[in-house]
């Protein structure tokens, strides 16, 4: 995150706080609040002009003013953002994929609530041994739940986990490309008015 969009920590000199992003997050709540206020005003109105509609100006003008300030900041954040994939990969841990293990058990017919509990037990066993989940012996997995088989370790692969989310809005490469194409089409239609 570029220094222009962050501030230094008052306590830790090495730390940068993403203040601009935190403020933008807050602004999104304000704009959503404007929308809800307007929708409540419109609720139950007959289909002609009503004096109630005088209340629409405050919400609309506030939302436009807020977005007019927020969108250029967000554009600047994105334009200047530097991504470090190698650091991101280095920060990955097996424990981040615990939900994948629950999904694994669900595919084996275990109800999700039980799968969630069992995976929590597996994670605790790995922590007690001081090892990552991928190094936990299969017998430890099976002591918690007999549905764990040797292929469970394949579910502790971040790239595979990303690709498994292949539904609309998912993280799989193909799903992301579809989302980008849909967004591009929406923008093109807006620009051309079609």
Q: Give pLDDT, residue 85.
A: 95
- From CA 115, how far away is CA 145, in angstroms rounded? 9
In order of their start, the domains of the chain are 3-82 (1.20.58), 94-156 (1.10.40.30), 165-194 (no CATH)
Q: Give pLDDT, residue 92.
A: 92
CA dist 143 → 36, 112, 119, 127, 131 (Å): 51, 18, 12, 16, 17
Q: Give pLDDT, residue 9.
A: 86
Q: Give pLDDT, residue 117.
A: 97
- From CA 126, how far away is CA 94, in angstroms rounded? 10
CB 50 within 8 A of CB 41: no
Q: Which residues of 28-44 are buried (b: 16+ CB within 10 A; e: fewer)?
A: eeebeebeebbeebeee
What's the predicted TM-score (pTM) here? Answer: 0.66
Q: Give pLDDT, residue 45.
A: 85
27: tokens are 């602004």
- From CA 118, how far away is CA 110, in angstroms rounded? 10
Q: Give pLDDT, residue 87.
A: 96
Which parts of the chain register pLDDT below 70? 194
Q: Give pLDDT, residue 130.
A: 96
């Amino acid at each position: 995150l570029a220094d222009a969009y962050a501030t230094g920590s008052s306590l830790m000199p090495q730390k940068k706080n993403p203040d601009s992003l935190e403020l933008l997050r807050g602004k999104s709540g304000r704009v959503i609040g404007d929308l809800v206020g307007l929708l409540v005003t419109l609720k139950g109105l007959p289909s002609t002009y009503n004096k109630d509609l005088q209340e629409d100006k405050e919400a609309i003008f506030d939302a436009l003013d807020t977005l007019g300030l927020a969108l250029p900041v967000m554009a600047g954040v994105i334009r200047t953002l530097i991504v470090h994939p190698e650091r991101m990969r280095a920060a990955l841990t097996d424990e981040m994929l615990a939900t994948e293990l629950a999904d694994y058990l669900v595919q084996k017919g275990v109800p999700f609530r039980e799968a969630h509990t069992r995976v929590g037990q597996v994670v605790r066993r790995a922590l007690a041994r001081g090892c990552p989940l991928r190094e936990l012996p299969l017998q430890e997995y099976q002591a918690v739940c007999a549905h764990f088989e040797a292929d469970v370790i394949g579910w502790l692969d971040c790239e595979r986990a990303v690709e498994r989310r292949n539904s609309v809005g998912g993280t799989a490469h193909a799903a992301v490309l579809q989302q980008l194409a849909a967004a591009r089409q929406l923008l093109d239609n807006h620009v051309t008015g079609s």
